[in-house]
Structure 1
C-alpha cells in the first residue's frame, strides 16, 4: 500500500517546515503499518495555476498527479494563513478538480477507493475550518474521508511560538496523528477488499 503526503508549506527546501514536522508523525505511524510513504514539498515545484491535469511546458503538476494515482492514501498537510489553508493547498484543490472528469477502466472516478486526511499547523486558530475546506474538496473529487482522519496543532489566540518552537500541545497532536494514520490504513484496506463500483447510471 502506498501513501502520498503533499506538504503545502510556503517554505521551499531546505528551510525547516513546522507542517512537515507534524506530518512526519503520521508518516511514521503509516510506515509502522508497512505503508510505503512519499512526501512532496510542493513549494519546491512549479505548480501552475489552472484546473487541468497538465497545463503545458514547465508545469510540474503532472508528475504529482501520477503519484496521486499510484497511492491509496493521500495526506494534505498545510499551515494556516489568515484562517485559511495556504495558497499552495488551495492550488492543489484547484488542480485536483480535473480528476472529476477522469475515470478508471471500470468507469469509476479515479479518486474512488482512495482515502484522504488532513494535517494542519499554525500559531493561530481555525484548524477545524481549514480541515473542513480541504476534506470537503477531496470528498467532491471522490476520496473517502474516514472518521477522525486529521490532526492539527495551533498556538491559540494571540501571537506566539510556532510548532517547532515549543513542546506545548505536541502530545495531543501526536496521539491524534497516530489515530489518523490507523483510521486511514484501516479504511484503505477495507476499500481494497470491497471497492466501490462506478456511480449508477
Structure 2
C-alpha cells in the first residue's frame, strides 16, 4: 500500500481548547482515512497567526507558510468548516484566498504544486446550506489545482433555528458516519491513482 498523508484544516471560529463540531467531523474524516492507510494531522487554523492575503507569505510573522508546508507534504487536504449565515466560515474563506497563491507556483514541468493532490470537504451547521458551502469550496479548491473525488463531502446539519450542535449528537448519525467512510475511501483511492500517474505537463 502506497504511503499517503493527509492534512485536515479545521476552519472553526473557536480557538483551542474550545469544543468544535468542525474539528470533530474533520477528525472523524482523518480517522476514516487512517483505516485506508493514510497518516495525517489536524490543524485548527485560528490557533495560528494566519494573515489575510493572496501570497504564499504575507510576512511580519505570518504563520501560513508553516501550514502551507504541511499542505504541500500531504496528498489529501480536508477542509472542515461550519456554516455561518449560509456560507463557509470566514476562516475557510481566508484559507481559500491564501491558496489562490498556488496558481502561480509551479514545478519544473509547469504544473501547479497542487496537481496530484486530492481535496474533500466536511461541513457542519445548525441550518441548511451544506450543499451551497461545499459547492463554494469545491470550486475554489479545484480552481487552485486540487482534484475532487466522487462524493467528496460529508456533512451534518441540524434542525433549522435550533441550538443542537453536531458535537452534541450521540451516537454519530449513521448517514453522516457512512458518508464519511465513503469520502475517505474515495479520497484515498484517487490519491493513490494520482500518486502513480500525475497529470501531464501542460
TM-score tier (shorter): over 0.9
| CA-CA distance at 1:171 after TM superposition | 1.4
How does the TM-score come out when normalised to structure 1?
Answer: 0.96
| CA-CA distance at 1:118 after TM superposition | 0.1
Q: Deviations over 1:135-165 (max 9, x none)?
A: 1000000110011011000003222311122
> Which of 174, 177, 182 is residue 179 of structure 1 equivalent to?
182
> Which of 56, 62, 65 is residue 62 of structure 1 equivalent to?
65
Gaps of 5+ in 2: none
Report the equivalent of 2:198. 195
For the pair 1:4 / 2:15, whether they are aligned, the reply is no
> Which of 13, 17, 26 is residue 23 of structure 1 equivalent to?
26
Report the equivalent of 2:56. 53
| 8 Å contact from structure 2 (residues 27, 42) kept in 1 | no
What secondary structure does 1:131 align onto?
A: helix
CA distance in 1 between counterparts of 2:172 and 2:133 reads: 18
Give runs of ≥4 in structure 1 deviating > 3 Å. none
For the pair 1:43 / 2:46, whether they are aligned, the reply is yes
Report the equivalent of 2:159. 156
**Residue pairs, 1:64-143, within 5 angstroms:** 64-143=67-146
CA distance in 2 between counterparts of 1:165 and 1:25 reads: 15
What secondary structure does 1:156 align onto?
A: coil
Question: How many positions carry a matched residue from both structures?
Answer: 199
Gaps of 5+ in 1: none
How does the TM-score come out when normalised to structure 2?
Answer: 0.95
| CA-CA distance at 1:105 after TM superposition | 2.2
